Amino acid sequence: MALLDAPQLLDRAARIRLLVLDVDGVMTDGRLWYDAAGREFKAFNVRDGYGIRQLMRAGITVAVISGRASESAAGRMRDLGIEHALLGREDKEPAFDELLARTRIAAAETACVGDDAPDIPLLRRAGLAVAVADCHECLAPVAAWRTSRPGGRGAVREVCDLLLAARAIAA
């Protein structure tokens, strides 16, 4: 898929009712940190969190589908108030179908943000397929838009700002 021009991007973004995010590589920079006891730690960007909260206040549902389950990710989702956190779901497409059924939102009304091959099935089905700036190149054929910021360093906020701006323009 070719990257969308600005008017096409804004048109698609204005129709989004559900934002689906990956965790590792999208909400984080993709690195995994472990302490001496083997406990995992992740670093999340506070500005991304603010953008997520703004989206939810605007009535856009935010969900997470991640191949890895971790207490640090679950804790961050609770902190942000993300009700739909499907963690430890290596096969993401059935999780996506479950999410669509739960929310009663069509795939065409979703924006999905990914960084690597496991995200491709969701990006192919989404109304707006987004890849973070530092994604693996395998996402190039399926991404309609690529953020200028890398995962864990403002990419999610960039997507949130786009969706909010598109809604404001369309109103």
CA–CA dist 118, 90 (Å, integer)? 8
Predicted local confidence at residue 4, as pLDDT:
82
One-letter amino acid for residue 45 of the chain: N
Domain edges within the chain:
6-170
Mean pLDDT computed over 51-72: 96
Please answer whether residues 151 and 21 qualify as being in contact, where contact means their C-beta atoms are separated by less than 8 angstroms: no
Query: pLDDT at position 1, please?
Result: 60
Q: Map tokens 């679950």 to a residue.
A: 74
Pairing of strands 110-114, 84-86: unpaired
CB-CB contact of 56 with 98 (8 Å): no
Q: What is the mean pLDDT of residues 155-161?
A: 98
Q: What is the mean pLDDT of residues 125-153?
A: 97
Three-state DSSP string of 10-70: HHHHHCCCEEEECCCCCCCCCCCEECCCCCEECCCCHHHHHHHHHHHHCCCEEEEECCCCC
Q: What is the average pLDDT across 2-7?
A: 82
Mean pLDDT, range 136-144, rounded to an integer: 96
Residues 96 and 159: their CA atoms lie apart, in Å, by 19
Residue 113, strand partner residues: 21, 130
The pTM (predicted TM-score) of the whole model is 0.96
Q: What is the mean pLDDT of residues 107-135?
A: 98
Q: What is the pLDDT, as a whole number, of residue 142?
A: 97
Residue 169 pLDDT grade (very low, low, confident, very high; cuts 50, 70, 90): confident
* Per-residue confidence (pLDDT) for residue 71, from 0 to 100: 92
How confident is residue 146, by pLDDT bands cut at 50, 70 and 90?
very high
Is the model's pLDDT at 2 over the cut of 80? no
3 state DSSP class of 111? strand
8 Å CB contact between 135 and 59: no
Q: Give domain 6-170's CATH superfamily.
A: HAD superfamily/HAD-like (3.40.50.1000)
